[in-house]
Structure 1
Amino acid sequence: MTRLLLAVVLFFSASCWAKPTNQLVVLTTFRLEAIKPILEAFKQDHPELQFTILHRRETSGLRLLEQADHDIDLVISSSLSLFSTLSEQKRLLPLNELNYDSAFQQQQFMQQTLKNVAVFGYSGYGIMWNQDYLTMHNLPEPDSWESLTEPQYFRHLVMSSPARSGTTHIMVENILQQYGWKKGWQIILQIGGNLSSVSARSYGVSDTIARGLAGIGPIIDSYAHARQKIFPFIGFKYQANSPLLPSYAAAVDNINPSPYSIAFIQFLLSDEMQQNLSTSAMNKYALSQAMSQPFEVIPINQYLMQKRASLVKQLFEQTINQQLIRLNQAWQLIHEIKKLPHLSQAEHRQFNLALKLASTPPISEAQAKDPLLLDAISMTRTDFDTMKYTNQWRRLMSEQLDQAIAICERLLDAHERRRRP
């Protein structure tokens, strides 16, 4: 009798938890507007299919995937870290039946790939601008990250945060890897001083620029191309010496895997889909398609990026996102002093100190390599160690910027006194 009751309980438990076989749950960092039309096209061949799209940022997506009882069938993203844990835990369905050659993709995109994770397209990133805005403000077209540090672009820029955008994280990390920790943060903090706002979403950058609320911003090409299809005044240029951004897809081996997971990946890799990928709502380059503006591709060190991901994201939050008013004030004053003639040697020393204070992060490169610090920092808001360090960084950066502002104000006051008769 006991065995019979147990069997009944197990039967009804399985019945309650199992999804209908016509379901497909998709986790993606891409916008709903980008992924939904492609799923609807796939559904034309599978009219019985019912799909659910879960749009999440990278961090919240990782939290979902870490839950043992999640019902996610498919992950689609440009963020490789979303797939890393699943791959390490062997929770991805094999792609053998697709004859998928991961070694070829690794060679093509010059970076790490994961077993049973397919690359179905790729993007690049660069700088987007509103030409009407530039004309109105008499600004030249930007051509590089370095150009965004120029005084003429003060409060004309917008960008997202690495903590909220995987693409922005890659952009910031690429600067740090290309220029080194010290010079890289100098560039990032100077760009921060020219920001009018930090967008909560990466596609918010393109929206802000298209609406004329800001003139320029670093962005993934797919968002820029989508705006160019609508607005003739939108310009875009790829950033030289940057990595390609593959778009990944993987089928998840959950409690009740969907029979459509592998089929959808096969659909993404099909000739029909590849021929239309660049004109679809995704605005991605097909695997065999050349870029519209060729540039020198430099691979990013994925291992280094992932190892210090939380630290870099939190550091950006505390030194730029949480300091925007101070950053603007400090760099506006610095730009004014650069125009002043006849600074004395003592004043030059003071100015250089202000410049250093405004362009130096609160931790050094040596500290950023400390494994204990790297292990202590996470993206969890309630983590005690993370809160301790981030509060310290925010306080130190505030103090540095306040000192820089005070020095600049004294220099400007001294200049004004000399001008008086």
Structure 2
Amino acid sequence: MTEAMARHAATIRLAVLILLAFGGAATGMAEGRRVQIITSFPPSFFEPFRSAFRDRHPDIAVEVVQRKTTAAVIDIRTHKRPDADLFWASAPDAFELLKRAGLLAPSKPRPTGAPQTIAGYPVNDPGGRYLGFAVSGYGLVYNPSYLTARGLPVPHNWADLAAPVHAGHIGLTSPSRSGTTHLMVEALLQSLGWERGWALWSAIGGNLATITARSFGVTAGVARGRFGIGISIDFLTEANAAGKEGNRFVLPGETLFAPASIARLAGSPNPEEAELFIDFVLSPEGQRMLREPRIGRLAVSPSAYGPQETPPHLSEIEGIFNRTGFDAGLSAGRYELVNLIFDEWITFRRAEHARLWRSLQAMEAALLSRPDEEAARLLTRARAALTRPPVSAAELDDPARFRNLARVPRGLPVPEEQARIEARIRSAIAASAAEAGDSLRQAAERLAALGWRDESQTGARP
């Protein structure tokens, strides 16, 4: 080897060493401190927090994975997101479900000054596995122009949604696709009791114009006049109002206030950074950010409010769970059962369900001017069939039977025991629908003999 060739080889070796050194340093920077958050919140909510946290901790990269609450729960339960550190969402029963599965790590309490409960609902998990940082009021969103044009009243309580006048004018998201809806469904089941609660949801289901794919679809559909009323959270309506879409929001007589929470996952690869993010969200700065118009949320900390403000959730308000309290463990134990019943009974049979309810409502109204004892008996039988849940309250005495139900991704086989439970639920629903249909047919024949004509389906919204 010549001297020139030797010098050239040495230069190449030096260049390789420099590249390796700088490459290693670059890799080290790329693998620096980080925290990954799974959240159901929109970018308009989490981006200000991400930016402010980075200003305080510029050495920590914040990654956000945006998922619907129900999809996020599945991802966490199936360990699809092994790099995730935090779960950040509105639906507290989703946190309880993850807690019971051993998927949430304990977090130290933070001195926010928040009350222990809000309208009967605990702000923090008593076991310290998830912490409330904001408060959501669950209620009814409506479009004033839509209701005025059709001469419809503004609903003021949950039972108003079952009134015949609102048939075909309500939009809703399935609880299997929305943590917001799931909590509201479960709240009424607990406050009214299993069978009375399902009777109300069946009647509401009979009034639905559509079932949207996401919670955001409810407020958007109301704003665009696709339907006039929906169930939503206060902050979603406020966000749309900022866009001048004209929605209004009403808190029902018995309001559900529930905390939005944050929790560190048990498998968090970056626990120190995750705890720092929780610290920030619950800090005075983070709590004050919630009150900014661009976010528009109710903070749990009294320090976030000015001297002239009266935080509604901090006063002694009447809520659904003031007297009984919400049983998050009960909710978690039947989480997928509630989703399954709602979808099989209402979501997948919406058109038939609505047709049966509208016929019943029309004939019950006809009885006022055409009394008939046998028709009244038949309509009572039809209503009982339409409001009978496919799983009775007595069957819930064996909660272990339903505890292992899980949402199975499309295309994958359903476990044998779950398949049997699903088939039994579908069979019970079909039998009740057939019983209702038979009773309504007989009642219609009797009323027709008295001069009544069924026009309940004429011009009905799909």
The TM tier, using the shorter chain, reads: 0.7 to 0.9
- Please name the residue that 1:300 is paired with: 326
How far, CA to CA, are the matches of 1:292 and 1:305 in structure 2? 23
Matched, 1:390 2:422: yes
Deviation at 1:215, TM superposition (A): 0.5
SS in 2 for 1:162: coil
Q: Deviations over 1:113-148 (max 9, x none)?
A: 132533221111111100011011110100011111
How far, CA to CA, are the matches of 1:28 and 1:396 in structure 2? 36
Deviation at 1:218, TM superposition (A): 1.2
- Please name the residue that 2:179 is paired with: 166
Moved more, 69-78 or 150-159: 69-78
Deviation at 1:261, TM superposition (A): 2.1
SS in 1 for 2:450: helix
1:159–1:219 CA distance, 2 compared to 1 (3 A): same
Structural RMSD (CA): 3.0
Q: Deviations over 1:316-367 (max 9, x none)?
A: 1111111101111011101110121223211111111111111111121101
How far, CA to CA, are the matches of 2:180 and 2:428 in structure 1? 28
Which protein is bigger by CA-based radius of gyration? 2
Q: Deviations over 1:240-271 (max 9, x none)?
A: 33442212123346463165322222221222
- Please name the residue that 1:256 is paired with: 269
**2:169/2:227 contact within 8 Å kept:** yes
Partner of residue 82 from structure 2, selected from 70, 94, 98? 70
**Which amino acid counterpart does residue 26 of structure 1 have in structure 2?**
I
Matched, 1:273 2:286: yes
How far, CA to CA, are the matches of 1:68 and 1:208 in structure 2? 32
Matched, 1:321 2:347: yes
1:117–1:363 CA distance, 2 compared to 1 (3 A): closer
Partner of residue 48 from structure 2, selected from 37, 41, 45? 37
**1:120/1:268 contact within 8 Å kept:** yes
1:201–1:349 CA distance, 2 compared to 1 (3 A): same
1:351–1:90 CA distance, 2 compared to 1 (3 A): closer
Moved more, 179-188 or 33-42: 33-42
- Please name the residue that 1:408 is paired with: 440
- Please name the residue that 1:9 is paired with: none
Matched, 1:352 2:365: no
User: TM-score normalized by structure 2?
Assistant: 0.79
**1:251/1:261 contact within 8 Å kept:** yes
**1:35/1:281 contact within 8 Å kept:** no
**1:126/1:237 contact within 8 Å kept:** yes
How far, CA to CA, are the matches of 2:376 and 2:136 in structure 1? 44
How far, CA to CA, are the matches of 2:165 and 2:193 in structure 1? 25
- Please name the residue that 2:151 is paired with: 138
How far, CA to CA, are the matches of 1:140 and 1:17 in structure 2? 63
Matched, 1:100 2:100: no
Partner of residue 28 from structure 1, selected from 39, 59, 65? 39
User: TM-score normalized by structure 1?
Assistant: 0.86
Deviation at 1:107, TM superposition (A): 4.1
Unaligned runs of 5+ in 1: 1-14
How far, CA to CA, are the matches of 1:91 and 1:163 in structure 2? 21
Deviation at 1:194, TM superposition (A): 0.1
Matched, 1:61 2:82: no
How far, CA to CA, are the matches of 1:16 and 1:364 in structure 2? 59
Unaligned runs of 5+ in 2: 1-25, 306-310, 453-462
- Please name the residue that 2:312 is paired with: 291
**Which amino acid counterpart does residue 370 of structure 1 have in structure 2?**
D
